Amino acid sequence: MGQRSRRAPAQAQIITGAFKATRNHAHAYRAAYGLADEAPQASAAHPLSVPRSLWAGPAGFLAVLETISPGLALAVMGALASLLFLGVAGLRFAAAVLPAYTSPRRTLFSHALPSMTVIVALHKEASVVSGLVRQLAQMDYPRDRMDVALAIEADDWETLRAAHAAARAHASRLPVRVMAVPPVGPRTKPKALNFALQRTTGALVAVYDAEDAPAPQQLRAAAEAFAADPALGCVQAPLGWYNRSENWLTRMFALEYAAQFHVILPLFLRMGWPLPLGGTSNVFLRDALVASGSWDSHNVTEDADLGFRLARHGWKTGMIDHGTLEEAPVTRRAWIAQRSRWLKGHAISWCVQMRQPGGLTGESGLRAMASLQASLGVNVLSALIHGPAALFVIWMIAGSLAAGQLPWIILPVAAGYGAAIFAAARGARRAGFRAGARDLAALPLYWLLQTPAAIRGLREIASQPYVWTKTEHGVTAQHRMAPDEPHPHAHPDDCGTFPVRLQRVA
């Protein structure tokens, strides 16, 4: 009888362990293949294709012109490129001139704040996980309404050990759960996020990266934005770099991010366009996230893709003014690797959304189509052709000057570069740091780096579309810091009739 009673608990433990393993495997399978199985047209897991009508017509037209007159075909292509260049320049100029814009908020007392789940997907991040948990412990959000889930690949033993140690060290200040993600499907960040999403319950879901330093007020600001607008499905916080002054490359990256998050995206928000989300500091309404299919585990820029999928399901995206600082790559090799993944993901996301362009327009309106082309489409196209186009412009100018003619191409080039540099300068002022004249003048040289990154990214689409090129963190010589106070170099935004709240976010 005694042996039988001792054997029963052991059998119960075995059965419980087997049940948990089966449940984990089921969660992992759904995290990896849920969207691909339930909405094949919305997932990058299936072959990518673009309707032939989108490219066959223009290609045929140019082919006919080429047979009639090669010079005329070249002139038409130049005119179309100039119009595109001027259109993008006009958009950037308008974004820089108009006042910064964020989503309205409704003040909530602490007891009225909704439950908040913070998810961070980690891989090979043992060196920075302690700093991450320490930053999250400083968030201004009631602890009885906040929980943190660290999703880590099951064979990443070093990061798992570091995460458990960090969770124990901050157990009295922050509830942290460490989740081992089973090796099912692609080993990507979105799959890990999906796995953690199924095992958490917060009404709002925030996503961060391992090296992030979010402003302490960020989660509260996001919750207040959702309270003010029930149609919001997600809010994006502005991003910047805490090591922006480390070298020339990080200074250029800071200017690029300042233009994106403090100039371009606020204009999209003002016009009611869907936002191509960044990979971190997004806060989602759980119901909207689940209804939209959550993240695509086969897309390496799952954030940008999800921004448009939310719009197709009738949800709006917004922005708040409390930002997050990250660690920028400090070497050209690391920058190229990261940018190639972004451009690969943007190209994949564009192809996924354009599988049924009529569906995108019908479900989300022309604004969604305009946003898709002005963000993901322009990003990939400009990165791919920037290097060759720069050589072509130099050749055209040299030829015109040699013939004693005024090079007409100077006008669209000057307008495009001028608008982009102006947007970067305005973004830096709104972000709270000074943009040096030398750095602004060097931006065209920085943009040349995008072409080799785009070539690498597009090449990987054919060979390894789901490979996640990991950016190593914890290599900067500068310390992680949160944008919790105005930067000493902050400038007032003199474009509008009211001051713009500045944060040290870039």
Report yes or no on 191 lying in a domain.
yes
- Taking each helix axis from N to C end, the angle separating 410-431 and 248-259, rounded to the nearest 10 degrees, works out to 90
Residue 67 lies in a domain: no
* Mean pLDDT, rounded, for 111-120: 97
**pLDDT recorded at residue 14:** 47
User: How far apart are alpha carbons 433 and 21 in whole angstroms?
Assistant: 50
Q: Does the residue 74 lie in any domain?
A: no
What does the DSSP assignment read for 422-434? HHHHHHHHHHT--
Q: What is the pLDDT of residues 415-434, one digit of tens each?
A: 889 999 999 999 999 999 98
Provide the 3-class DSSP secondary structure of residue 319.
strand
Q: Which two tokens stand for residue 434?
A: 């000074």
pLDDT of residue 7: 55
* pLDDT single digits (tens) 99-108: 989 999 999 9
Q: How far apart are CA 441 and CA 505, in angstroms?
A: 22
Q: Indicate whether 190 belongs to any domain.
A: yes
Whether residue 259 is contained in a domain is answered as yes
pLDDT of 186 over the 50 cut: yes
Strands laid side by side in the 324-326 sheet: 213-214, 324-326, 239-241
Whether 167 maps to a domain, the answer reads yes
Q: Which of 34-43, 54-63, 441-450 has the lowest mean pLDDT?
A: 54-63
pLDDT of residue 57: 65
Using DSSP, state whether 361 is helix, strand or coil. Answer: helix
Angle, CA 262 vertex, CA 256 and CA 264 arms, to 5° = 75
Determine the 3-state secondary structure of 256 from DSSP: helix
Contact criterion met (CB below 8 Å) for 330 and 298? no
Break the chain down into helix, strand, coil percent, rounded to 5: 55, 10, 35
Residue 188 lies in a domain: yes
pLDDT at 61 over 80: no
Judged against a pLDDT cut of 60, whether residue 188 lies above it is answered with yes
Listing from the earlier edge strand, what are the strands of the sheet with 282-285? Answer: 176-181, 146-153, 116-122, 204-208, 282-285, 232-236, 316-319
Judge whether 120 and 192 are in contact, CB under 8 Å: no
Look at residue 504 in the predicted model and tell me its pLDDT.
Answer: 34
pLDDT for 65 equals 65
Paired sense of beta strands 213-214 and 204-208, if any: unpaired
Span 172-186, average pLDDT: 93
Which one has a higher pLDDT value, 5 or 234? 234
Mean pLDDT of 35-47: 92
**For 119-163, what is each residue's pLDDT tens digit?**
999 999 999 999 999 999 999 999 999 999 999 999 999 999 999
pLDDT attached to residue 49: 76
Give the pLDDT band of residue 438 (cuts 50, 70, 90).
Answer: very high
DSSP line for 148-217: EEEEEETT-HHHHHHHHHHHHHTTTT--EEEEEEPS-S---HHHHHHHHHHT---SEEEEE-TT-EE-TT
Overall average pLDDT of the 166-188 stretch: 93
| Number of structural domains in the chain | 1
Both tokens assigned to 28 = 């992992």
CA atoms within 13 A on the CB side of 142: 12
Tens of pLDDT, residues 470-483? 777 767 767 777 66
pTM of the model: 0.88
Long-range contacts of 169-175 (CB under 8 A, 24+ apart): 169/130, 169/133, 170/133, 170/134, 170/137, 173/137, 173/143, 174/133, 174/136, 174/137, 174/143, 174/146, 174/148, 175/143, 175/146, 175/147, 175/148
Work out the average pLDDT over 431-458: 94
Residue among 410, 310, 292, 303 at smallest CA distance from 348: 303
Please give the radius of gyration of the chain, using alpha carbons only, rounded to the nearest integer: 24
The region of weakest confidence among 219-228, 259-268, 356-365 is 356-365
Give CA angle at 96 (337, 502), nearest 5°: 80
Q: Tell me whether residue 385 is in a domain.
A: no
Secondary structure class of 314 (helix, strand, coil) = coil
pLDDT-based confidence at 190, cuts 50/70/90? very high
Q: Taken in order 299, 303, 304, 306, is the CA torsion positive or negative?
A: positive
Report which secondary-structure segment, H or E, holds 289: helix 286-291
Q: For residue 215, give the CATH number of its domain.
A: 3.90.550.10
| Span 194-234, pLDDT tens digits | 999 999 999 999 999 999 999 999 999 999 999 999 999 99
Report pLDDT for 15: 43
| Domain that includes residue 301, residue range | 110-329
